[in-house]
Structure 1
Amino acid sequence: MLRHALPRAVPVCLVFLLSACGHEEPAQISISPAMVEQPQPSALASQSYPGEVRARFDPQLAFRIGGKVTRRLVDEGERVKANQPLAELDPQDVRLQLEATRAQVAAGQANLNLVRAERDRYKTLLDRQMVSRSQFDNAENLYRSGEARLQQLKAEQDVASNQASYAVLRAPQDGVIAQRQVEVGQVVAAGQTVFTLAADGEREVLISLPEQAFGRFKIG
């Protein structure tokens, strides 16, 4: 009996062992914590800011005398050359003033000629002892006063002549008209801005930066 039962007992034991192995607990895997760092943008990364390139020198152009604008020869955005006419004032007033000073100079010259001749005549009479020294001195003083008056009138004529040329506004140097601030028919005062010139030459860049970006930039 024992000889026949042994072969059947072996498979039963194998099944039992396989079944026991199928119910083993899974092995536990330990997980270690890790630090994750958020990547930051590179300092050399490209960034864009609004800005403009403009002339380093932008003089404001104005007439040296006041008057009524009769001609405007250029407009915004136009390129101009040094000494090019830009605008003109009514020349009538300055022309009349110049003519008046010329007339005054002519009258002053005529008066000087007269007192010079009178002075010379008194000098001759003084040499002949036909007039007193005080009479000659009076004639001499009139001559010197006439001479000084003529010099003053000539200076006023030069001023009037310059003012006549000031009726034409000219570009001081090459550049582009950046702004125009007058119209034909407008009356302007001496020194009132008529044009703004973006002068040729050096340029500068104006950039709008947020406050937090100031530390990343420097001049140079």
Structure 2
Amino acid sequence: MKKIIWSMLWMITAMSAEEVYATFQVEAQKSANLAFSSSGIVQKVTVDVGSEVKKEDVLSTLQNDDLKVMLEGAQVALKYAKLDYDRQVKVKKIIDQSQFDQYAFKHENAKVQAAYQKSLLDKTVLRAPFDGVIYEKSLEEGDVVSGAMIRTLLKIQSAHERKLILEFDQKYHAKVKVGDHFKYKIDGDEKMHEGKISKIHPVVNMENRKVIAEVEAKDLMVGLSGQGTIIADDK
């Protein structure tokens, strides 16, 4: 009974709607080109093409023993600078202000130096910016990388979330709305899919006079193309 009612509602909607032809390309919902911003020798690569990763997973590291030692030294200096500062805080009322300021400066400077050394160490670790899958890899252990000449080493994209990048004639720009249904097929596949317009770009493509819209999808191979029909409701 529910199917009959749904079918009737769909027919009523279709009667008051206009069908707009659109072509599309499949893209990942998220994608990023990853690179080191520091120079060094690649010590370890923990992923390969097809590896699924979680946000903040370590993907690769540079040789960084020297930076680890520098950070440890900065942390020790901070520890003792804080002890000295805390002692001076207790006797602040009975010591010269300029003397107290010197200890405060040393403490703050030690914090800055420790944070700086940590930032240098962090730059030797390449992490995943979001949950996804590695789809291109161009580094191996032992490779030399340069922070002065940054190049893409890994490419990552959403593992399952996709978006269809639609193009349709500009004459329908006022008719198509976010939420309109989109019925489509992948080229070479007769299976019918359905989705909804999730975003409409505010600028017309000047090269072909097409409006660009997006439809969310899942588990389609990035790069596939297809065509379909937007059901543009006039209401």
Query: What is the TM-score with the length of structure 2 in the denominator?
Result: 0.50
Residue 64 of structure 1, CA deviation: 4.5
1:86 equivalenced with 2:59 (yes/no): yes
Q: Partners of 1:182 and 1:87 in 2: how far apart?
A: 9
- The Cα shift of 1:206 comes to 9.7
- Residue 108 (structure 1) aligned with residue 68 (structure 2): no
Larger relative contact order (Cα-Cα within 8 Å, sequence gap ≥ 6): 1
Q: 1:124-161 CA distances to partner (integer Å, 9 max, x unpaired)?
A: xxxxxxxxxxxx6xx32021121122112112213323
Paired position in structure 2 for 1:66:
39
Contact 1:68 1:185 in 2 (8 A): yes
In 2, the alpha carbon distance for the partners of 1:116 and 1:83 equals: 39
Distance 1:64 1:215 in 2: 38
SS in structure 1 of the partner of residue 47 of structure 2: coil
2:136 is the counterpart of 1:179: yes
Aligned partner letter, 1:155 = V
- Specify the alignment match of 1:159 in structure 2: 116
- The structure having more radius of gyration, on CA atoms, is 1
Q: Which has the higher strand share?
A: 2
Residue 28 of structure 2 corresponds to residue 55 of structure 1 = yes
RMSD: 3.6
The aligned counterpart of 1:4 is none
Asked if 1:169 corresponds to 2:126, the answer is: yes
Q: 1:141-220 counterparts in 2 under 5 A?
A: 141-190=98-147, 192-200=151-159, 201-204=161-164, 219=212
Is the Cα–Cα contact under 8 Å of residues 59 and 199 in structure 1 kept in the other structure? no
Change (3 A) 1:217 1:104: closer
| Structure 1 portions without partners, runs of 5+ | 1-48, 124-135, 208-213
Q: Greater share of helix residues, 1 or 2?
A: 1
Task: Give CA deviations for 1:82-123 in whole Å, capped at 9, x if unaligned.
Answer: 222211121212202202212322443455467668866xx3
Alignment of 1:25-36 (within 5 A): none
- Given the superposition, is the C-alpha separation of residues 79 and 206 from structure 1 closer, same or farther in structure 2, using an over 3 Å criterion? farther
Unpaired segments of 5 or more residues in structure 2?
Answer: 1-22, 168-206, 214-235
Q: Secondary structure at the match of 2:31?
A: coil
What is the CA–CA distance in structure 1 between the aligned matches of 2:43 and 2:145, rounded to whole Å? 11
Q: TM-score, normalised by structure 1?
A: 0.53
AA paired with 2:100? Y
Structure 1 residue 185 displacement after superposition: 1.2
